[in-house]
Amino acid sequence: MADLLLADLLRAPAVIEVPDWAVISSIIASALVVVNFLIQGFALGVIPENRRPSTGMAWLLAIVLVPVLGLALFLLFGSPRVGRTRHLKQTEINELIAARVAGLERPKTTAPSAYLQTVVDLNQRLGALPLSSGNRVHLIEDYRGSIQAMAHEVRRAESFVHVEFYITAWDEVTDPLFQAMTEAVERGVDVRLLFDHLGSRGIPGYQEMLKRLATTGIQWYPMLPIEPLKGRFRRPDLRNHRKLLVVDGKVGFTGSLNLTEPGYNKPKNHKVGREWVELMLRIEGPAVASLDAIFATDWDAETDEQLHVEAREATGSAAADALEFPEVPEVAVQVVPSGPGFESENNLRMFTSLLYAATERISITSPYFVPDESLLYAVTTAAQRGIAVELFVSEQADQFMVGHAQASYYAALLRAGVRIYLYPAPWVLHSKHFSIDDDVAVVGSSNMDMRSFALNYELSALLIGREMVEKLRVVEDHYRSLSRELTPDEWQGRPFRLRYVDNVMRLTSALQ
């Protein structure tokens, strides 16, 4: 009997507990709903704080569409803060500069409009650096000529050379400057070099440049380095975009140029003949101390070494007299630093203030014109007020996303009456400057885009004087002679697929 029962049991089918996948799926789905709800609730209460409405809405939309990925991207790219230590250093230096210049007599501006003094006061309140008169300024439109001019000054250096560029490469075009820097070290001159870590790293020959620098005696450091193993990490797209060179505190250079050959050492650029078009300033006079103060700030941030800065008058020299570039002997100059180390967007506030003050004419040159609401309203309102407004941009953008984001604003600009001039391909119009009426100009490293306003350390020079604007107008006239004007009919005829890409890239540009 027992054997029969055992046989029956062996013949009976085994009963295996199978998971109820429907229940598990329901639990997972419910958990995801809860997680998404928590992420979106967190985003609604946190993201809008201290952000532009457009930026906040762009981040919120990203998180609503793809909650987990959107939150991860926000945590990686959502904060423009550069760290407490760097921020405190910037604040301390601003306070020190403000204390030193508090008793200085304000130079008289040559512009007839009363508004200009309020802009100067705004710049000093935000960026600490004062307006100075009696500066001698050369405009250098020649790419290779600007590098040769810098090399010439470095060869005459007696005390120190300070060099800071977003992109730095040692190639056949920049070699004269690097050789001059090396020779200066050999004569006992202190040569200090700063370059943006990621900005320079993306240029071919970067590692070879580091090896060559290590043999020169030049003191060099990368700015804003990303080195997680050394505890140096921040939002990876925060960049130091400034460009400047100071020799002995007597002569300074600044503008849009990066320290590389005009095709950026990229074979694809050389293949199509693409070269960058730049504009640099050579300055003698007390404004050079402001450039040096910016270098000293960035040097301290990277090295913890504080440098002494001293203002000097423009004395003139036979070397300067021999320069073949347009010169203005008496210019009031105010250097305006900006970037994530400051509480306010110094460059944007200066730009919009000047645009609203225009009464006759505005001419803007910007390779990346991706404005926020305030700048777009300032430009279009000026045109609607009857001001003659023109914008020079490249016909063919060198960056896909930025180029399409920029294009998304053309319709609104054209409707308002802004005249858009397209600088011919394959050249990239990389100059960054604008002029207001006949009295005021701004030249520097800052683009008119949200990245330059919030994420990049930038440097702008406010230049006051009718003769200065006349010289810059010659440059603008040259651009216009080479460019073709974009018409509303041409722009309205673009295919839908391009407009669609423009709008998508416009949205991504707001993710600051």
H-helix segments, 83-226? 84-101, 115-127, 143-155, 175-186, 197-201, 206-213
CA-to-CA separations, 285 to 415, 463, 470, in angstroms, rounded: 43, 13, 21
For residue 132, pLDDT beyond 70:
yes
**Domain 84-112+133-337 maps to which CATH number in 3.40.50.800, 3.30.870.10, 3.20.20.70, 3.40.50.10170?**
3.30.870.10
pLDDT at 329: 93
How do residues 221-231 score in pLDDT, each as one tens digit? 999 998 776 66
Q: Is 11 exposed, middle or buried (0-12, 13-18, 19+ CB in 10 A)?
A: exposed
How do residues 27-86 score in pLDDT, each as one tens digit? 777 777 777 777 777 776 666 666 666 676 676 777 777 777 777 777 666 666 666 666
Which one is predicted more confidently, 278 or 455? 278
Delimit the domains of the chain by residue range: 25-78, 84-112+133-337, 346-509
205 pLDDT band, cuts 50/70/90, is very high
150 pLDDT band, cuts 50/70/90, is very high
How do residues 277-332 score in pLDDT, each as one tens digit? 999 999 999 999 999 999 999 999 999 998 988 776 666 654 555 567 889 999 99
The helix (run of H) or strand (run of E) holding residue 281 is strand 280-284
Architecture of domain 346-509: 2-Layer Sandwich (3.30)
How do residues 318-377 score in pLDDT, each as one tens digit? 455 556 788 999 999 999 999 987 878 999 999 999 999 999 999 999 999 999 999 999
Is the N-terminal amide bond of 426 cis, ω within 30° of 0? Answer: yes
Tokens of 42: 């967190």
How do residues 82-122 score in pLDDT, each as one tens digit? 666 666 766 776 676 666 655 555 665 555 567 899 999 99
Global pTM?
0.86
Output the average pLDDT for the chain. 87
Is there a common fold for 84-112+133-337 and 346-509?
Answer: yes
Q: How many CB atoms lie within 10 A of CB 91?
A: 14
Tokens of 133: 């008169």
pLDDT above 70 coverage of the chain, percent: 81
In angstroms, rounded to a whole number, what is the distance separating the alpha carbons of residues 321 and 318?
5
Nearest to 250 by CA among 288, 224, 280: 288
